[in-house]
Amino acid sequence: MNLFLDTSVLIDLIDKREPFYNDIAIIASLAENKKLKLAASSLSFVNTVYVVSRNIEKNIVLDALKKFRIICDVSNIDEIVIDKSLISNFNDFEDAVQYFSALHHKSEIILTRNKKDFKNSEIPTMTPSEFLASIK
């Protein structure tokens, strides 16, 4: 199963944000054990460094992302993704970029804490806790 991580979920993991950390940590562990595949956009990596570095030293954030990168593919954002995002009916441009990046990567589920941001998605969206409940 191919899961696409929205930025909010990646930040939860790297920043260990409670009460959200445990669910995404379990999902990362499943990926580490090759039970599923993870992808995140290149934009999510950039945004995660920007956001989490406000609270944690940048070198610690980068080290955490280096380790995470071993189990996570990076979905490109190219001109096709940008062009589709520019003409989409998404209210938020960044959400559109995430969505079309996930679509381009052939992701089966988008994991996010902001499901309302993906209401126009053809890809099912779930929170990490909903995803874990669905596979039990």
Query: Which domain CATH number covers 64?
Result: 3.40.50.1010
Mean per-residue pLDDT for 93-108?
Answer: 96
Q: Rounded CA gap, 104 and 113, in Å? A: 21
- The tally of domains found in the chain comes to 1
Confidence of residue 58 (pLDDT cuts 50, 70, 90): very high
Alpha helices in the chain (DSSP H): 7-15, 21-32, 42-52, 58-69, 79-86, 93-104, 128-134
pLDDT at 136: 83
Q: What residues make up the domain containing 107?
A: 2-134
Whole-prediction pTM value? 0.94
**pLDDT over 90 at 120, yes or no:** no
Residue 128 pLDDT greater than 90, yes or no = yes
